[in-house]
Amino acid sequence: MKPSNTLVALCALCLSTAALAEDKKAEAQAKVDAAMAQSCELTKKNVLGKKDVCAEEAATLEATDCNDKEARKKADFLKLNGTCLEKQRAAIKGGAAKKEDDQAAAAEKKKGTHCKALDETGAVQLEHDSEGLSIKCQTELREKVKAEKCAPGKKLEWKFVGESMGKEMKPTSLTITCPKK
Q: What is the pLDDT of residue 22?
A: 74
Distances (CA, A) of 174 to 42, 70, 157, 159, 169: 63, 79, 6, 6, 14
Q: What is the pLDDT of residue 87?
A: 85
Q: Which of 106, 126, 145 is the last residue of a domain?
A: 106
Q: What is the pLDDT of residue 12?
A: 59
Q: Which of 81, 106, 131 is the last residue of a domain?
A: 106
Helices of type H across 49-133? 55-62, 69-75, 77-109
Q: Give the mean model confidence (pLDDT) for residues 19-30.
A: 75
Give the chain's mean pLDDT: 78
For the stretch 106-146, pLDDT in tens is 655 556 788 888 887 888 888 888 887 778 888 888 888 88
CA–CA gap between residue 11 and residue 18 (Å, rounded): 11
- The letter for the amino acid at 45 is K
68 shares a domain with 13: yes
130 shares a domain with 43: no
171 shares a domain with 147: yes
Q: How confident is the model at residue 27 (pLDDT cuts 50, 70, 90)?
A: confident
88 shares a domain with 170: no
100 shares a domain with 140: no
Q: What is the pLDDT of residue 148?
A: 86
119 shares a domain with 37: no
pTM of the shown model: 0.41
**Domain extent at residue 22:** 5-106
Task: Give 108 or 22, the one with higher predicted confidence.
Answer: 22
91 shares a domain with 23: yes
Q: Give the mean model confidence (pLDDT) for residues 5-24.
A: 63
Q: What is the pLDDT of residue 29?
A: 81
- The letter for the amino acid at 97 is A
Total domain count, the chain = 2
Q: What is the pLDDT of residue 65?
A: 85
102 shares a domain with 13: yes
Task: Give 96 or 55, the one with higher predicted confidence.
Answer: 55
Q: Which of 71, 89, 106 is the last residue of a domain?
A: 106
